[in-house]
Amino acid sequence: MKAKRSMLNLGFGLTSQVITIILGFFIPRLIMVNYGSEANGLIASIVQIISYFALLEAGVGAASLQALYKPVAKNDYNHINSILAATSSYYKKTGIYYFISVVLLAVIYPLVIHSEISKLSIMAIILFSGLGGAINYYYQGKFRVLLIAEGKSYIETSIVTVANILNNVVRIILLLQGVDIIAVQASFFVLTVLQIAAFHIYAKRNYKWIDLTRKPDFEAIGQKNSVMVHEISYLIFRNTDVLILTIFTNLKVVSIYVMYNMIFTIVDNIVQTVNGSIKSALGQSYHEGKEAFVKFYDAYEVYFMGLIFSILTVVYILILPFMRLYTAGVNDVDYINFWLPILFVAIKLLTNARTSSNNLITIAGHFRNTQFRSIMESAINLGASIIFVLFFGIYGVLMGTIAALLYRSIDIVIYASRVLLERSPWVTFRRWLINVGVFAAIVFITTKLDLSITSYTGVILWGVVLGLVILPIYYIVGSLMEREVFLYAWGYAKRFRTKLKLKRSKVTASQT
């Protein structure tokens, strides 16, 4: 069942990402062409600031998820309801605070920012961009946590994908017609509300056993404050760059950053979709026996890391040819920059290569033990980025993030290995170094090739070709260097395939 749900989560998640990527590419370019780079930078800046309001929820979701893994594995509905009752109580408070924060931002932000766009327009954009999130937190936060704990992320993904398709199609149509940018953001708000309604209908039909009147088990999510520290750190790490660039540079520089970050955010989303599809299985496996869990964990780390490196290798090779095509005709600022892909790739490798170790800390519930380390990461990132941006501009914020990541990524691996796995961290560091070596070799070889790319079709075709070649290279090297891991993964795959065949044969027999 866990393997089946992981496959469903992965399949639905990747399909969602592909659809979102295809539709999402149109919108930033249409905004730049029709409204200018300043409007693109403004919207990106607002979205990033609103993302900080997730701090109001910080801790509750992750703590509830960690608390739910065990009762979900045992089908203990009474305990699940008690945890959900506590979670719901916090989410309702969050929704109210979120709403107030959006309104305050809509009033204050237009008075602070310097822009050619009218203050009333900025206020309306902020309201339509943020109020949907406030309503979502109030009504659906606890249900989303339960779906993830049960390994049913594919349900959430399906609803969100349909909403994203409708949202992007409507926004593209409005942008092509040159409609006011306020109307474009208003469509986003309306479809967010419809998405919430869909979640509510699904919950009523499929989770009739949920009873939020049970006595709340606040103790089960008692680590929420420690989790909040980690969540704050993550949000600062992920969203500080745009805010710092908005304050210390200008909205056109923000637009350059956003264009490159858009590509790498897509990578993040794909990687996290894969990670999320397996994380619930890891969480439940952790409570079923250490020896089996460690084998599962090692296989996951080796092949997940290979996937990360292969995707980022392809993106690094193709990002500048793509950017030349994507920003053609936008002349108010130069978007082509040799150093930005290098810095972004370094950040994403350091961020995502530590995912398996970070998952282990989360699943084990070691939030309080590691919160000081998380605070240090935020402090390094914020301090270094502010100092470096004064001297190096857009490069400075990326350098500040790299400085924080070098500290925290190494620390996460050491903690997870020594404290939780009770082994040397060199096991994971060796895997990092092997993949870095493969990355360097592939990039060196491709620089000797003349990849003549003059169209989006060329970008797609080269992406497919490079992906089909590069991913197997990482997996073959990983398998050769980790023979025991390969044998475990191969055996697991064969058992899964056998179960599928038996299930199909039973279905065929019942039909005859």
In a domain, 511, yes or no: no
Taking only the tens place, the pLDDT of each residue in 380-409 is: 888 999 999 999 989 999 999 999 889 988
In a domain, 504, yes or no: no
Residues of the chain with pLDDT > 70: what percent?
Answer: 83
* Residue 362 vs residue 417, higher pLDDT: 417
Per-residue confidence band for 33, with pLDDT thresholds at 50, 70 and 90: confident
In a domain, 379, yes or no: yes
Give the torsion sign (CA, 469, 472, 476, 482): positive
pLDDT for 6 equals 57
Calpha distance 435→310 (Å, rounded): 9
Calpha distance 200→431 (Å, rounded): 44
Calpha distance 99→479 (Å, rounded): 50
181 and 251 within one domain = no
Residue 340 pLDDT exceeds 80: yes
* Residue 37 vs residue 108, higher pLDDT: 108
292 and 161 within one domain = no
144 and 115 within one domain = yes
172 and 254 within one domain = no
| Last-in-domain residue among 174, 192, 222 | 222
How far the first Cα of the chain sits from its last, in Å, is: 26
189 and 240 within one domain = no
274 and 164 within one domain = no
244 and 202 within one domain = no
Other beta carbons less than 10 A from residue 281's beta carbon: 18
- Our separate counts of H helices and E strands in the chain read 18, 0
In a domain, 512, yes or no: no
162 and 18 within one domain = yes
258 and 193 within one domain = no
Q: Is this prediction's pTM over 0.85?
A: no
Show the tokens assigned to 324. 């030349």
pLDDT for 36 equals 75
Show the tokens assigned to 131. 């109020």
Calpha distance 74→149 (Å, rounded): 12
162 and 69 within one domain = yes
* Residue 433 vs residue 119, higher pLDDT: 433
Other beta carbons less than 10 A from residue 147's beta carbon: 22
Per-residue confidence band for 14, with pLDDT thresholds at 50, 70 and 90: low
Calpha distance 312→318 (Å, rounded): 10
60-73 vs 224-248: helix crossing angle, rounded to 10: 140
Show the tokens assigned to 369. 């033990």
290 and 201 within one domain = no
Q: Phi and psi of 449, rounded to 5°?
A: -95, 150
283 and 196 within one domain = no
Residues of the chain with pLDDT > 90: what percent?
Answer: 15
| Last-in-domain residue among 182, 202, 222 | 222
Show the tokens assigned to 132. 């949907």
Calpha distance 508→503 (Å, rounded): 9
The distance of Cα 104 from the centroid of its chain, to the nearest Å, equals 27
Which residues make Cβ contacts (< 8 Å) with residue 57, sequence separation at least 6? 90, 91, 94, 98, 137, 141, 231
Residue 155 pLDDT exceeds 60: yes
CB 403 within 8 A of CB 384: yes
Q: Smallest Cα–Cα separation from 53: which of 107, 109, 122, 99?
A: 99
Helix/strand/coil (H/E/C) assignment for every residue in 250-306: CHHHHHHHHHHHHHHHHHHHHHHHHHHHHHHHHHHHHCCCHHHHHHHHHHHHHHHHH
Taking only the tens place, the pLDDT of each residue in 274-331 is: 777 777 677 767 766 777 788 888 888 899 899 999 999 999 999 998 888 888 877 7
pLDDT for 214 equals 82
* Residue 31 vs residue 424, higher pLDDT: 424
In a domain, 301, yes or no: yes
Question: Residue 145's domain spans which residues?
Answer: 1-222
Q: Smallest Cα–Cα separation from 296: which of 471, 491, 63?
A: 491
Give the CA-trace dihedral at 176, 180, 181, 183, to 10 degrees.
-100
Residue 496 pLDDT exceeds 80: no
Average per-residue pLDDT in the chain? 80
In a domain, 333, yes or no: yes
Which residues make Cβ contacts (< 8 Å) with residue 187, sequence separation at least 6? 167, 170, 171, 174
Calpha distance 332→371 (Å, rounded): 44
pLDDT for 505 equals 61
pLDDT for 387 equals 93
In a domain, 506, yes or no: no
251-286 vs 224-248: helix crossing angle, rounded to 10: 160
CB 315 within 8 A of CB 345: yes
Structural domain total, the chain: 2
| Last-in-domain residue among 155, 187, 222 | 222
Tell me what the mean pLDDT of segment 24-49 comes to: 75
In a domain, 363, yes or no: yes
